[in-house]
Structure formats: structure tokens, C-alpha cells
Structure 1
Amino acid sequence: MALDARISADEIREHISQNPKMRARDLADQIGVGEAALLAAQGARRISAAPDDIMPALKACGPVMALTRNISAVHEKVGVYDNYHSGEHASMVLNEEIDLRIFSSHWVHGFAVTTETDNGPRHSIQVFDAAGDAIHKVFTRDGTDMAAFEAMMNTLATGDTSDTIDLGVRAPVEVAKGDADKADVLRTEWAKMTDTHQFMRLTSKLKMNRLGAYRIAGAPFVKPLAPIALNDALVTLGQQDTEIMLFVGNRGCIQIHSGPLNNIKPMGPWQNVMDPDFNLHLRADHVAEVWAVEKPTKRGPALSIEAFDAHGALILQMFGRRKESDKIDHTDAFRKVIDSLPALHPEEV
């Protein structure tokens, strides 16, 4: 959707007052602005959006809820922002609970937000990209050190009190890029991989992207699955208590859950995981393509289930979890789940 810079702060506030229960992302899309414009119009406190400022300060706050989303999936994880590593192009938070990959060039607009709820005020910090789309949000919990959280917000505050915000154009989703003439080269180089991180360098070298490569690679590297396979996988993994790694991301942040999926609860178009310290909210009706993917590594094949929407955007990835005591990059249980999933019939292609 194109963003409309002509909408005034007064008009945005009027839309908010008329739709008090609507989710911020949905309302922003409805009126044609970036979500950050809603916060600016409501006078939310501006803070630094730099990960190097935010992440070290969060550690002192104790347990909080980390939220990373894209248009089709929301990933929520409770934990402490410990073990932050800064990098020039990519940074990370790496611990058992909060596991993030951060691409700081997309962390542009920051806000400290207080929202009144039926259970009292809810405090958060929220970061958006240049177009005003959410990159990462952090919400307080009952166990959060609120004095440390308040001190952090004071330290991060920029003093900007404007109720408008200068937003750029939302970048379009990159469509699948493949080249059938390079299919043999892709397969040859794919078979030589020794680490999953080499895959993106390979596709970049061949001027492809992830989905484009999957569409031409063929067996034994990829297998197209029916769109319902993603939901089937979530349900089956939950029933079997199989540990996985589940990735949800956007241009600026990837958030990872490691562990089982236990409490699966569908609600309308949403399929949900509602575990005590991990929630996933998935728009199942957005799932257009699902792929079972196998990449060779030094420790054996890494298996994943990967889902895309109708525009070619990556919704999420799931991998069989490998513990240090294991010898390979997946569990037998995860492979068996993949083998049980419905394949995409030729007439569905």
C-alpha cells in the first residue's frame, strides 16, 4: 500500500478516536500511513532508535516481552536482553530466551509508549523503519524493573515533541528472482555448501533470491508443499512436543524461538501458539507457498519448513533444533514431520 503523507496529525487522531479497538498496524494500513505516524500524532515520546543505545540499556530492566513481526506473523518472546553483540552491519542478542539478529540501518524511528488498558498502563519501546513500519517492540512485564525501564526511557529520549513524522516510501516486496539457465550451477554449488549461511551468498552471486532459487532447485534440495502444510506442521509439532527453532523477521530484525510449541489455538484466520514465554500469531490465510528445504552442512543436512505469502515475502522458517550434544542439524522427529506433510500437487502449481 502506498503511504499518504498528506494526512494531518489531526486527521490521524480522528481516525484513532473512531477506531479505538483496531490494531495499530491495521488502522495504519486502512488510512494509508506508516504505523509510526499514529504514535507521533498521539504525542508518544521520541527516543533514539539505535540498537547500540537500546540493547545494553534493556539488560538492566530484567524480564520483558520482545516482539518482532511482519505482515503475516507476530513473534513474541519473554526474557532478558542479555549478551548483546554490536556489529557494523548486523548485531545480535544471543541467549536462551531472547535471540535476535539486528540490521541497524533499518532502525530509524523510536518511541517510548504508554497505553492505557483494562489492566492498567502498558509500557513499551517501539522502533520503526524509514517508512514507519514496525521493526521491533519491547513491552514491560510484571517482573520488569520499572525504575530501570523509566531510567532507560529518560536516557534514550531525544526531546523531539513534534506530532508529525517524516516518513519515506515503503519498499515493495522483492518478487521471486530465479534464472533457469543457472539451475545446474545452483544445484552444483548448493551441494558443496558446508554452512547454511553460505546460501544467501550463493543466491546473491547468481543474482537470485531465496524463493526464486527454491522454485528452480528441485529435488533433493527442496520439495514444494501444500499451503496447509504449515498449519499441519505447527499442530503436529505441538502434539509431539518436538523442539524447533522458529524464525520470524522483517528487514530490520529476525527473532528466534528455540524450544517446543505446546499450546496451539486457532482463532478465525489466525493460528496461534500461546505458551507461557512464547507466542506466535500467524495469519494462516496469508500462506501461499510452503517449501521443505535441505541444505548440507559439516554436521549433516539442515532441514527447514519455510512459508511465503502471495507476494513472495518470507513469513517464517522452522528448523529442527540441534543441541550441542546432537551430531546433526536436525532431529529425527522433525524429519518425520516433514515427510508426513502434504505435497503440492502438480495442478496446484
Structure 2
Amino acid sequence: MTTDTLSLKTRWADFRRQNPKSRIRDAAKQLGVSETELLVTGVGQTVVRLAGDFRELLKQVSSLGYVMALTRNDVLVHERKGVYEKVSFNNHVGLVLGPDIDLRLFMHRWQWGFAVNENDRRSLQFFDAQGEAIHKIYLTDQSNLAAYENLVAAFRSDDQSDRLLIAPSDEKVADKPDAAIDVPGFQSSWLAMQDTHEFFGLLRQYSVGRQQGLRLAPEGHAQLLSMDILKQVFANAADRDVSIMVFVSNPGCIQIHTGSVKKLVQMGPWYNVLDPAFNLHLNETLVDQVWLTKKPTADGIVTALELFDKTGQNVALVFGERKPGKPELDTWRVAVADALAASLTGV
């Protein structure tokens, strides 16, 4: 598929006049195109196409200083301010392991990069072959603008055209029927886990989808919850100053916040964390299921909340703050247990 850029540019301009507060991702859906196709209409004006090895670019992002990292999917937007530190790659898998910016990067999905200037709000934006946003890096008032301009110049593409080729969406692989799964073996392996990172391999070993795996979990190790309980867990964590970990993912990036949450605000269908260094925006209408899971590790049970969208995609995980070698926080377990208890009593 190729973009009829001139026509789309006109439609995009008309849309913005009629919907000045609409986000580009929402506009793209309403116009029936990808976000990248809308963005590329600005090449030569507000947008610069980037090229080269994006791994090398990311290694240099630390020169920008204090920035805002944004990773999202259809359901959640995760924004975290800080400095890109300890950036490393093992082939196409990358890590950013600073105390503030904490990322897992899957570079085989990173197809396009752009430098964007939206009314002097400068950013680096990266997209997959389907035109879906993977990760964005926004400058703040504390960022190094000269370093940004140098980085854009170094990775500026020779191709500054306003045309691109969008790949078709990936086909979703259907889960096997439950009857085809070795459920006793799967449950036994679940109970034998020594690390939460083993869970992905466990799903692959038994050919089980993640949501399906929670349905087939050993008794007492997975429970379907309501959105109200999820929000109560956040409220408990905020009231009691419990440090939590919030993972938001798409196929190309996982972004993690570790720390407290304080300012919780409901705005229509959006449930928000609005703290100085961390913002989370959760569209409740797009959440299909929330699960409470308990996974054994060498350090004891690890309790998590897992969110799924209406396609069955896992879009977020929430844990109490923890490190390997240490049991999870008792205060986190109590925050979850109290939210469950309140739901049962109606308090």
C-alpha cells in the first residue's frame, strides 16, 4: 500500500481544524491510515526522516540529558522522565537500565524513525513496518537542544520523500483448543517455576496463549478481577506509599516505571497517574480483562496484575517493586489483598 500523500495531507489538515485537540494516533484511526502515514506528510516542514542503525542512535540519546520517554499501545500510554543510561544491545534485543528510564527493546520491529518538531516541541519517534508507534523520546526544558540537533544531523536520511510503504498487519495466531493442551503438565511446570521470566518459555513449551494460560493456571494462582479492584490497588499503593512497577508494552518496546504513584485522576474513560516524573493514561473502555496472578520464584510468590485488550493482547503488568534475590514487598501483597477484600464487602 502506498500513501496518496497530497490527498492525505489535505484530509489531515481538515481533520485538525475540526478536531484541534485530537491526538495523531486517534486521528489516524479515524482517517483509516497509520500514524506513520500521517506523520510523513510533514516531511520537509516539521518532520525529518532518520536512517541508519537505530541501536547506535539510542546509544547516543544520553547526550540529550533529561527527556521524556513514551511507550504506548491502544489501551495505555506510559510516560517517564529521566536520562537514558546503561544502553546496551545483544544483537537486536536492547536494554536501557537507568534508575528512571527502564526499557526492553526489540529492534527487529523498529522500521522507521523521525525527528519531529510540533510547535517547538521536539522529539524522536520510531515506528514498526505497519506504521504503529513503538517509542518516542521528547525533549524537556532541561534537555540539550544542541545535542538533539547534532543527533538528527548525524542520522538524517538521504531520503526525505513523503512516501512510504506500509506492511499489512500481522495475523494473530489463534490459541489451540484447551483440550489439545497438556494442562496437568502446564500446571505442574507453573508450580515449579523459580523465576517469573520462565513464564514466557512455559507458554511456548506447552503452546499456550498468555490469556489462555491464566485460565488454565493451577488453582489459586490466577483470578479474574474488575477494573474497580485494579484502581483500588493503585489507590492503596498511593495512600500507603508502596513502590510499584508498571510495565507497558507493544511489540517493539517494554517501558517500566519503578517507584511510587501519588496523583490519581479519573478523566472520563481515562484513569491517570499524573506525577511529576511519571504519567500513566489508561483507557478503561479498551480493557477486556484484568487478572491477578501468583507465580512461584526462588524468592517466594510474586503477585502481579495483568491487563489484556479486546484482542487478547497483554498490554500491561503491575508488580510490587522487587529485585532478584529479594522477596516481594509485604506492603504490596497487603495492598492487593485489601483491594480484594474491599470488593467482597462492598466497602
Shared fold (TM-score greater than 0.5)? yes
Counterpart Cα distance in 2 of 1:176 and 1:262: 39
Partner of 1:336 in structure 2? 334
Secondary structure at the aligned position of 2:65 is classed as: coil
Q: Unpaired runs of 5+ in structure 2? A: none
Query: Do structure 1's residue 8 and structure 2's residue 4 form an aligned pair?
Result: yes
* Distance change >3 Å, CA 317–CA 222, structure 1 → 2: same
Find the aligned partners of 1:145 and 1:161 in 2 and give their Cα distance.
25
CA contact (8 A) 1:177 1:213 kept: no
1:168 to 1:49, Cα distance in 2 relative to 1, 3 A = farther
Q: CA deviation at 1:218?
A: 4.0
Q: Return the match for 2:73 from 57, 70, 74.
A: 70
- The worse-fitting range, judged by mean Cα deviation, of 246-255 and 227-236 is 227-236
Of stretches 287-296 and 94-103 in structure 1, the one that deviates more from structure 2 is 287-296
State the Cα deviation string for residues 277-318 of structure 1 (Å, max 9, x = none).
Answer: 110011012222111111111111111011112221112110
C-alpha displacement at 1:6, in angstroms?
Answer: 5.8
* Match of residue 36 from structure 1: 36
**Aligned with residue 15 of structure 2, among 6, 10, 19:** 19
1:209-258 Cα deviation digits (max 9, x unpaired):
21110011142221221233222222222222210110001000000000
- Alpha-carbon distance in 2 for matches of 1:112, 1:158: 11
The alignment partner of 1:217 has SS state of: coil
What letter is aligned with 1:334?
Answer: W
- SS of aligned partner of 2:95: strand
| TM superposition shift of 1:342 | 4.4
1:305 — aligned with what? 305
Corresponding residue SS for 2:134: strand
Residue among 91, 95, 102 paired with 1:92: 95
Secondary structure at the counterpart of residue 182 of structure 2: helix
Query: What CA distance in whole angstroms lies between the structure 2 residues aligned with 1:223 and 1:280?
Result: 24
CA shift in 2, pair 1:208/1:323, >3 Å = closer
What code does the residue aligned with 1:81 have? Y
2:182 pairs with 1:179? no
Write out aligned runs for 1:237-256 (5 A): 237-256=237-256
Give the CA deviation at 1:19.
2.3
Of the structure 1 ranges 89-98 and 129-138, higher mean CA displacement relative to structure 2 is found in: 89-98
Query: 1:266 offset after TM fit, Å?
Result: 1.0
CA distance in 1, matches of 2:100, 2:11: 37
1:126: which partner in 2?
Answer: 125
Partner of 1:166, secondary structure, is: coil
Q: Does 1:107 align with 2:110?
A: yes
Asked if the contact 1:191/1:296 (under 8 Å) is kept, the reply is: yes
Give the secondary structure class of the aligned counterpart of 2:113.
strand
Q: Whole-Å Cα distance in 2 between the matches of residues 226 and 272 of structure 1?
A: 17
| Rounded Cα–Cα distance in structure 2 between residues aligned with 1:51 and 1:193 | 35
Distance 2:61 2:175 in 1: 37
Q: In percent, how many aligned pairs have the same letter?
A: 35
SS in 1 for 2:143: coil
Structure 1 contact 54–156 (Cα < 8 Å) conserved: yes
CA change 1:7–1:84 in 2 (3 A) is closer
Is the aligned partner of 1:234 residue 2:238? no
- Partners of 1:176 and 1:312 within 8 A in 2: no
Q: Once the 2 structures are TM-superposed, how far is the Cα of residue 49 of structure 1 from its aligned partner? A: 6.7
Q: Is 1:49–1:127's contact at 8 Å kept on the other side of the alignment?
A: no
Code of the residue aligned with 1:60 in structure 2: it is S
Q: Mean Cα displacement is larger for which, 192-201 or 45-54?
A: 45-54
What residue number does 1:170 align with? 169
Q: Which moved more, 1:255-264 or 1:82-91?
A: 82-91
Structure 1, 65-74 or 330-339: larger mean CA deviation: 330-339
C-alpha separation in 2, matches of 1:90 and 1:125? 19
C-alpha displacement at 1:327, in angstroms? 3.3
Question: Does the CA contact (< 8 Å) of 1:112 and 1:126 recur in 2?
Answer: yes
C-alpha distance in 2 between matches for 1:114 and 1:277: 22
Question: Distance in 1 between the 2:170 and 2:235 partners?
Answer: 34
Residues 210/177 of structure 1: CA separation in 2 closer, same or farther (3 Å cut): farther
Residue 337 of structure 1: CA displacement? 2.2
Equivalent residue of 1:151, what SS? helix
Contact map agreement 1:174 1:312 (CA 8 A) in 2 = no
* Deviation, structure 1 residue 105: 0.3
Aligned-residue Cα RMSD (Å) equals 1.9
Q: Within 1, Cα distance between the matches of 2:52 and 2:12?
A: 24
Change (3 A) 1:260 1:207: same
Secondary structure of the residue that 2:335 maps to in structure 1? helix
Contact 1:178 1:215 in 2 (8 A): no
Query: Cα gap change, 1:207/1:323 in structure 2, threshold over 3 Å: closer, same or farther?
Result: closer
In structure 1, give the amino acid aligned to 2:315.
I
| Superposed displacement of residue 26, structure 1 | 0.6
